[in-house]
Amino acid sequence: MIHAWTKADFDAAYSIRVERHFGAHPSRAGRPEMRLHYHEWVIKPIMVNRWRRLLRVLTPAIDAADRVLIVGAGFGWGVRALRNRIGCAAIGIDTSPYIQAEKNNDDSIEIDEAITLAGLNPTIGRGLFLRDKIRTTGQRAKELVLNEDMSTQQSRQSIAGALGGSPTWIITEDIVDDNMTDAEITTMAGHFDKSTARKVWLYTPTATRTSEQLAALTGHKVIEFGTYRLVG
């Protein structure tokens, strides 16, 4: 079974100190600083910048006629960033139980919990100010994120039906970490190879696996975050 990210995995991968963006550094307030993890307020600018840079190195370029499948899409904020930039058809897939359980909910509970952990009250004063600044409207997944993994013909047909045809690009959204084994990676790559789409893995290198090693495992191209090198 391929490792699916838990909420703890998302929280470990994404963390930002919020209050410095609004003044009043908490070290002077005698309490912890409020942090957010995998929330739209944190991720949206990251995704906009990532796709701006990624599209400079993808060859051939994605254009409005393409159908893009983003694997490990989380709540789909990368899908939205791509669609806004290119105007192409794009959807996400993600088998994380956390993502599938929360994708149609709003972020109010987690925002209030983060404010409370910082020693603030989300209904008054500074806590209410931060709540109003950071909360986003509507459900967390504003693009389609299917609970599919491309492992079966039925799964691939469900994706093609939602996308308006078979994908022309399959792009993994930085899902490989040290929790994933080589066997899991090659199994996933094999699922993708049942499609004729162009395949690219977006990857943040770790101490145990280089971009070159990931490209060799998958047989697909890899774009390395940080350097934005195209490997493979």
Per-position DSSP letters for 146-174, written without gaps between them = ES--S-SHHHHHHHHHHHTSS-SEEEEES
Domains of the chain: 7-231 (3.40.50)
Measured distance between the N- and C-terminal CA atoms of the chain, rounded to whole angstroms: 27
Q: Nearest CA to 113 among 16, 25, 8, 37?
A: 37
- Return d(Cα 37, Cα 12) in angstroms, integer: 8
Residue segments in the chain with a per-residue pLDDT below the cut of 50: none
Residue among 90, 68, 94, 91 at smallest CA distance from 149? 94
Determine phi and psi for 55, rounding to 5 degrees. Answer: -70, -15
Q: For residue 167, which of 175, 177, 159 has the smallest C-alpha distance?
A: 159
Of residues 98, 95, 103, the one with CA closest to residue 184: 95
- Taking the C-alpha atoms of residue 113 and residue 134, their distance in angstroms, rounded to an integer, is 13
Whole-number pLDDT of residue 207: 85
pTM for the full model? 0.93
pLDDT of 178 reads 87
- Measured over the CA atoms of residue 72, residue 77, residue 81 and residue 84, the dihedral's sign is positive
